[in-house]
Amino acid sequence: MGFVEIRDLTFAYDRRQPPVIEGFSLSLEKGEILGILGPSGSGKSTLLRVIAGLEVPAAGTIVIAGKRVVDGGTFVPPEKRGVGMVFQDYALFPHLTVEQNVGFGLHRLPRKERRERVGRVLELVRMTGFERRYPHELSGGQQQRVALARALAPNPDVLLMDEPFSNLDADLRVSIRDELAAILRQAGVTCLFVTHDREDVEAVCDRYIVMEADATSSD
Amino acid sequence: MELARFVRQIRRELDGWRLASLGWAAVLLLPFLFIFSAWFRKPNEQWLQIRAYLLKDYVTGTVQLTVLTGLLAAFLGVSLAWLVAAHDFPLRRFFRWALLLPLAIPPYIAAYTYSNMLSYTGVVQKTLRDLGVEVSPKWLAFGSVRGALFSFVLFLYPYVYLIARAFMERQCASWVESARLLGARPLAVFWRVALPMARPAVAGGVALVVYEVLGDYGVTSYFGIRTLTTGIFQTWFGMYDVESAMRLASWLMVAVVGLFVLERWLRRGRLYHVSGRPRPMAPVRLRGGAAAAAFAFCFVVFALGFLIPVVQLIAWASLAFEDVWKPAFWRWTLNTVAVATLAAFAVTAISLVVANVCRRRTALNQLLARWVTAGYAMPGAVIAIGILAVFIELDGVLAPLYAAMGWGDRPLVLSTSVAMLVLGYVIRFTATGYNPVEAGYENIGTRFSESARLLGHGRTRTFFRVEMPLLRGSVAVGFLLTFVEICKELPLALLLRPFNFETLATQTYRYAKDEQIILAAFPSLLVIAVSLLSVAVLHMAERRA
């Protein structure tokens, strides 16, 4: 049994519509970086939202690090799943500084340890020295690295990344991609990485799967 | 398996937030259920009398006033909106917001101001006599239905004006310009393009006007017009007959629900949206006579609706400043501020919880949001009678408890407390606070909240650490608007205030009713000044949007 195990997952936004995801299964080793490739509308972002606990599947089971988070009678809410996520638009809290953003998920740590941990992840993403800045004072690439640091800080069992490069322009994309690959390996994190760009997958991931746009799906 | 899934669903859905929302919705149901319970009781003698001699007057008075006010306010509001949105003339930019100002003057204040100005000793007749001009008093008679219509139309039309203008300015541009390019004449552009498109917006604005008229007590009672609302007051204050008041209230409520449905129907599937980014309409420059006429029209409305009454009130207030400025005045102000703050605070809290739950747009949630905010359409008198009935019943139920506490046999504790008034305000004005908060939630989206959840914070912590700081602006707007509405409110305050508890609005009304017009001027000005705040907020919110 894999570190992340998904069995027969089915999800529909509306009961009257055909499911976006149907009978999907997946197994992921610890420390593996898996790419999920597919055109828009193939349900790959939805898959991440279901794994994160932001959506409830109609059927199927998900096990993360030996803990059953979803099955017919179980639903572990997102805050108790140990899942980290980097959103497409980063979703950095605009009213908090970089330091407060990264420390946001570390509320259970005592102040001193929290400080240390924030310093360490900011160093990992090479953003030391930006602690006091607000998100709107950062460039797109910098925001992305802060978002990554924030997701990594609480040491999640699995990291989900939803099209992390789509908001960056082409030049930046290439350099950041290599950097990201290095950071993820250094952190040794298990990661699911969604993109529609084959080059992203080749640069970052150990292996990848392809989700086809379902003929029955609406968009 | 199915049962397990069901349990999973329930446990996920029914957290504290949703329970609180549903609980509040249930509380809201109580006063309305109580009102309708009157239908199942045996009618008493007074009701038979009311039905035989008064009900017809009440209904015709109500229908006459609402229909005429609705039509006239629609005409005035839409024509001003079209003039300002699509044309350019001298001082247009000033009139654009100045035409909102009449909203700051509650119609009952306008009613007694004008009726005293036009009376035999008022400034108009005096001036005319000094000039030696003789005008038949018939022309100056400012009473009954004519006076009420004037007070309603001229001081409520901004609801229509605001909504219609915003719609025309933002949504109509491309259609209006196409029509112009196709060679349609200006009037045809209005009748065939702008007006039909703006119909949903106009219907929304007129509905607000009509709800105000249905709920009005100040103007109608001042002019002695029989409506369902004044009827409710008479049965309660004249005969202390809650049951008949409840019956009348139930009929008024049926009328409101009917209107509500009618409004929805008029707006059905007709919300036009421009594909892409809406852009402002290029106004047509008016010249010569047309420009002068447009200016004159706007100026007359502005003068009648704001300038003249305010100047007159200032003149009166300066005569009586010493008499009004006494300790009691501070007490009324303090009462007003305390009650308004308390109720606005509750409204904001309720809005934050319910709008948070309703971010997921399921059918049930939509219904919940509608229900919680429905009070804005309910006449104050209906809400008040419902609450009175519930609280009197509660006092009956709690009588043994009171006795055990040594407060005597069957005292009225709840039904003589200020809690009734606060609850009434909350029910009536939840929509005022809810709409900005809901817009605020929509504005910040769900991303930040989802991020916070994934970083290990529960729903409540997420609310306090992320949503609340981001919603600050919307919450402030909602709070302020609610506060102002409560300061202006009259019928609820008159019906639900504890004995000897006066607010600025009730005291103003009392002075005006006793023909102590000069004393009424200063508190009136204070109410207007507070209301100007909300007009300013509305104007700024619109500019930012």
A190 φ/ψ angles, rounded to the nearest 5 degrees = -80, 130
Give the model's pLDDT for residue A218: 36
Segment B393-445, tens digit of pLDDT: 888 888 888 877 777 666 777 777 889 999 999 999 999 899 889 988 988 88
In degrees, rounded to 5, the angle at the alpha carbon of residue B360 between the alpha carbons of residues B357 and B363 is 100
**Higher pLDDT pick, B136 / B223:** B223
Please say whether the beta carbons of B259 and B209 come within 8 A. Answer: no
Angstroms from A6 CA to nearest CA on chain B? 18
Q: Is B544 exposed, middle or buried (0-12, 13-18, 19+ CB in 10 A)?
A: exposed
**Contact B7/A at CB under 8 A:** yes
| pLDDT at A153 exceeding the cut of 90 | yes
Integer-rounded Cα Rg, in Å, for chain A is: 17
Q: Which helix (H) or strand (E) holds B44?
A: none
| pLDDT at B278 exceeding the cut of 70 | no
**How many Cα atoms are found within 13 Å in the side-chain-facing hemisphere of B440?**
26
Give the model's pLDDT for residue B83: 92
**Residue B489 structural domain:** 16-40+58-544
Give the 3-state secondary structure of residue A166: coil
ipTM: 0.90
Label residue B109 by pLDDT band (50, 70, 90). Answer: very high
Q: For B408-473, give the DSSP string.
A: -SS--SGGGSTHHHHHHHHHHHHHHHHHHHHHHHHHHTTHHHHHHHHTT--HHHHIIIIIHHHHHH
| pLDDT at B545 exceeding the cut of 80 | no
Domains in chain B, number? 1
Q: In whole numbers, what is the pLDDT of chain A averaged over residues?
A: 88
Please say whether the beta carbons of A58 and A35 come within 8 A. Answer: no
Summarize the confidence of residues B246-256 as an average pLDDT.
Answer: 88
CB < 8 Å from A in window 451-510 of B: 451-458, 461, 465-466, 469-470
Assess if residue B1 is contained within a domain.
Answer: no
Residue A38, both tokens: 């597919």
**Contact B543/A at CB under 8 A:** no
Cα–Cα dist B294/B98, whole Å:
15
Summarize the confidence of residues B295-300 as an average pLDDT.
Answer: 95
- CA-wise closest residue to A45 among A213, A178, A216: A213
CB-based contact B12 A78, cutoff 8 Å? no
Assess if residue B9 is contained within a domain.
Answer: no
Segment B146-164, tens digit of pLDDT: 899 999 999 999 999 988 8
Cα–Cα dist A129/A138, whole Å:
12
Assess if residue B53 is contained within a domain.
Answer: no
Angstroms from B60 CA to nearest CA on chain A? 49
Query: Pick from A75, A95, A154: which is nearest to B470 by CB?
Result: A95
**A interface with B, Cβ–Cβ below 8 Å:** 52-54, 56, 72-75, 77-81, 83-85, 87, 89, 91, 93-95, 104-105, 107-108, 150-151, 154
Segment A16-58, tens digit of pLDDT: 888 888 889 999 999 899 999 988 778 888 999 999 999 989 8
Query: Pick from B8, B457, B469: which is nearest to A73 by CB?
Result: B8
Give the model's pLDDT for residue B251: 87
The number of C-beta contacts closer than 8 angstroms across A and B is 76
Give the 3-state secondary structure of residue B285: strand
Please say whether the beta carbons of B298 and B83 come within 8 A. Answer: yes
- CA-wise closest residue to A193 among A142, A148, A143: A148
Give the 3-state secondary structure of residue A88: coil
| Residues in CB range of B270: below 8 A, 6 or more apart | B199, B200
Segment B165-218, tens digit of pLDDT: 888 887 777 778 788 888 788 888 888 888 888 888 888 889 889 999 998 999
Give the model's pLDDT for residue B461: 92
CATH at B187: 1.10.3720.10
| Residues in CB range of B152: below 8 A, 6 or more apart | B65, B69, B73, B107, B209, B212, B213, B216, B219
Q: Which amino acid is at A38?
A: G
Q: Structural domain boundaries of chain A? A: 4-82+156-210
CB-based contact B451 A52, cutoff 8 Å? no
- CA-wise closest residue to B530 among B160, B106, B222, B96: B106
Query: Pick from B8, B457, B470: which is nearest to A79 by CB?
Result: B457
**Higher pLDDT pick, A166 / A119:** A119
Segment B474-530, tens digit of pLDDT: 898 889 889 988 998 999 999 899 888 999 999 999 988 888 888 888 889 988 998
> Looking at beta carbons, which residues of chain A come within 8 Å of B4?
72-73
- CA-wise closest residue to B253 among B114, B427, B430: B427
Give the model's pLDDT for residue B43: 80
Query: Pick from A54, A73, A154: which is nearest to B4 by CB?
Result: A73
**Higher pLDDT pick, B539 / B258:** B258
Please say whether the beta carbons of B99 and B80 come within 8 A. Answer: yes
B contact test, residue of A55, A69, A75, A114 with most B CBs within 10 A: A75
Q: For B381-392, give the DSSP string.
A: HHHHHHHHHHHH
Residue B149, both tokens: 């219509």
In degrees, rounded to 5, the angle at the alpha carbon of residue B255 between the alpha carbons of residues B254 and B258 is 85
Segment B20-45, tens digit of pLDDT: 999 999 998 888 888 888 888 888 88
Give the model's pLDDT for residue B1: 59
Highest mean pLDDT pick, A96-100, A181-185, B11-15: A96-100
Segment B110-146, tens digit of pLDDT: 999 998 888 877 888 888 888 877 777 776 677 788 8
Strand pairing report for A59-64 and A4-11:
antiparallel
Give the model's pLDDT for residue B255: 85
Segment B84-99, tens digit of pLDDT: 988 899 999 999 989 9
Cα–Cα dist B450/B47, whole Å:
57
Summarize the confidence of residues A127-136 as an average pLDDT.
Answer: 93
Give the 3-state secondary structure of residue A134: coil
Give the model's pLDDT for residue B307: 95
Cα–Cα dist B462/B79, whole Å:
47
Q: In whole numbers, what is the pLDDT of chain B averaged over residues?
A: 86
Give the model's pLDDT for residue A217: 38
CB-based contact B454 A83, cutoff 8 Å? yes
Assess if residue B488 is contained within a domain.
Answer: yes
Q: What is the DSSP letter of A32?
A: -
CB-based contact B1 A73, cutoff 8 Å? yes
Summarize the confidence of residues A111-128 as an average pLDDT.
Answer: 92
A4-82+156-210 is a CATH 3.40.50.300 domain = yes
